[in-house]
Structure 1
């Protein structure tokens, strides 16, 4: 079964990373996978389920079977820009002259956003 899982992992990487395996098309690799799985005695239902798992996108990491979580394509932890904090949607009612002053302060301080302005206040 380890050979089947290894080939399944390669197929996943081919689908999501475009990694090529010995100049074979994905269809050829899928046929090779089905043949190997059948030779290893894997049930047809399981083979079909595993072929379906190839379409689970890497960002749905939690739904991947354990052996695919270790593929090159699976989502890596701590990818992307780190969070600056907690997002809270707020609506503030202020007189127009105060909003004008805030907009002027943002421009004068060369701040990029309203969030940057509020971070500057602390």
Structure 2
């Protein structure tokens, strides 16, 4: 999901920062303090330096889409002709993923039962 690439990029940026700061004569203790400020989680907002507290994004704890339920990984074996019909149905219903298809199928089924 690109996380490895992001981590590598972040590591490269951190290394470049340390190299530059060292060349500028900044003490390692100060460099470590500065790096520590980069990794402050949102729930530790009060530990941010004053010049960063103005940022609304620093206050956010919930990032991303809200959860709609519990994720369970499932593997289903079906004949190829059924998978073809499912793929066609996904296109017809303009759904974005296999997950969306099965979610809609399950929710519809259990609403009808209730």
TM norm structure 2:
0.49
| Structure with the bigger percentage of helix | 2
- Select the structure of larger CA radius of gyration: 1
TM norm structure 1:
0.46
Higher relative contact order (CA 8 A, sep 6+): 1
